[in-house]
Amino acid sequence: MNAPLIAIYGATGHTGRLVAAELLSRGRDIVLSGRDAGALRALADELGPPERVRTHAAPLDDRTSLRELTESASVLIHCAGPYAETGAPVASAAAEAGCHYVDHAVEPHHVRYMFDSLQATAERTGAVMIPQMSFYGGLADLLAAAVAEGLTEVDRVTVGYAVTGWRMTRGARKTAELLIGEIDRVTFTDGALRVGPVEIRNTVFPFPPPVGPRTMIAPFPSGEVVTIPRHVPARTVESQLTSRTFEEEQVFTSEDADAQARARTEFTVAAQVTSPGGGGRNGHVSGRDIWWVGAVASVEAAVRLAEGGGPGKSGVLGAAEAFPAVPFLRTLEHLGALTVSLEAPRTPPAESPAT
């Protein structure tokens, strides 16, 4: 049986460090993993005593080390990206070992790969695997579930991300560049997941005050197009990002920024759910520091899984399939990571009485 340890793959990166600090602050013992043994040991010395912070070097091409890592931990938080490169070897090792798994992927192709290729293995070994339990992806999945709760028919789910002050790390920049250059995009339209070229357009998303209406890049490639249709009966799901986010000067030139500078982001993630007959519902979450909210979301999920507070079934699951959406978002709010605003269902205007 696996020990109730939580391991972090890609622990030396910005996200990995935030995740490690958050786990230690919650009293968890951790295993730092990644490809560079020296960097992992240096980080362990910085973070805490050896009985609480262990290291386990496991380069992606070393299947034996990855297997030993996933057999020694009860949950693995995968923080190394781009997931186009790191996703399959780490996630498949976790699935085979029955090690619960959460990651920070943005990439729709990685999320799709997990559902298509690891579902049967995870179900057999008892692993609960939740891709993109982070800022991009997981929050949108939870929010869409919360906003659409109880609806039996949904025409369209639109997720709007308003992000300012984003200072990309090396890993985030490489990921963004791969996504921007991607020809075959994953989309969900007319009730089906599709892969192929799409036309990128500008549109306007009506964020609530104080953000207000913003020009958006649409579609923005994030993996919730794969997860939301699994639990919201929508015909179309699309994510969009404020155009201004990529126009800010610092976004692609901040690989050397320190953690304090990176923390100075502001965000609103909004979900607009429209019904086939008109009307609809809105909800949003907002806050500061997209990196920290992502780290807290993944740690909250990992701790629940380590303590047996998972969904009661194994397999690959979206965030809102694994955990009830509103209570999970409220927990993140309670932890100070964001504020949640869910609009009461709107009813169509009453018809005038006949005279």
Ligand X SMILES: NC(=O)c1ccc[n+]([C@@H]2O[C@H](COP(=O)([O-])OP(=O)(O)OC[C@H]3O[C@@H](n4cnc5c(N)ncnc54)[C@H](OP(=O)(O)O)[C@@H]3O)[C@@H](O)[C@H]2O)c1
- Contacts with ligand X in 291-310 (CB under 6 A)? 291, 294
Question: Stretches 10-18, 184-192, 277-285, 302-310: which one binds ligand X (CB under 6 A)?
Answer: 10-18
**From start to end of 185-279, where are the E strands?**
185-189, 192-196, 201-206, 213-218, 234-242, 266-274
Residue 129 CB, nearest distance to ligand X (Å)?
15
CB 188 within 8 A of CB 177: no
- Contacts with ligand X in 171-210 (CB under 6 A)? 171-172, 175
8, 16, 146, 245: which one contacts ligand X (CB under 6 A)?
16
Query: Pairing relation of β-strands 154-164 and 266-274?
Result: antiparallel
**From start to end of 23-112, where are the E strands?**
30-34, 53-57, 75-78, 100-103
101, 113, 115, 136: which one contacts ligand X (CB under 6 A)?
136
6, 7, 13, 97: which one contacts ligand X (CB under 6 A)?
13
6, 8, 15, 281: which one contacts ligand X (CB under 6 A)?
15
104 binds ligand X (CB under 6 A): yes
Residue 97 CB, nearest distance to ligand X (Å)?
18
How many angstroms separate the first and last alpha carbons of the chain? 74
239 binds ligand X (CB under 6 A): no
CA distance 91 to 94: 5
Look at phi and psi of residue 126 and say left if phi exceeds 0, alpha if psi is from -120 to 50, else beta. left
- Give 213-224 as a DSSP string: EEEEEES---TH
- Contacts with ligand X in 55-84 (CB under 6 A)? 60, 79-83
> Which residue number has the CB closest to ligand X?
81
106 binds ligand X (CB under 6 A): yes
35 binds ligand X (CB under 6 A): yes
Choice between 12 and 121, CB closer to ligand X: 12
Question: Rg for the chain (alpha carbons), in Å?
Answer: 20
**From start to end of the chain, where are the E strands?**
6-9, 30-34, 53-57, 75-78, 100-103, 128-130, 154-164, 185-189, 192-196, 201-206, 213-218, 234-242, 266-274, 280-288, 315-316, 339-342
CA distance 156 to 191: 10
CA distance 301 to 77: 9
72, 92, 158, 169: which one contacts ligand X (CB under 6 A)?
169
23, 28, 31, 34: which one contacts ligand X (CB under 6 A)?
34
7, 14, 23, 225: which one contacts ligand X (CB under 6 A)?
14
Residue 35 CB, nearest distance to ligand X (Å)?
4
Choice between 154 and 297, CB closer to ligand X: 297
CA 327 to chain centre: 17
* Residue count, binding to ligand X (CB under 6 A): 32
170 binds ligand X (CB under 6 A): yes
* Residues at the contact surface with ligand X, assessed by CB under 6 A: 10, 12-16, 34-36, 39, 60, 79-83, 85-86, 104, 106, 132, 134-137, 169-172, 175, 291, 294
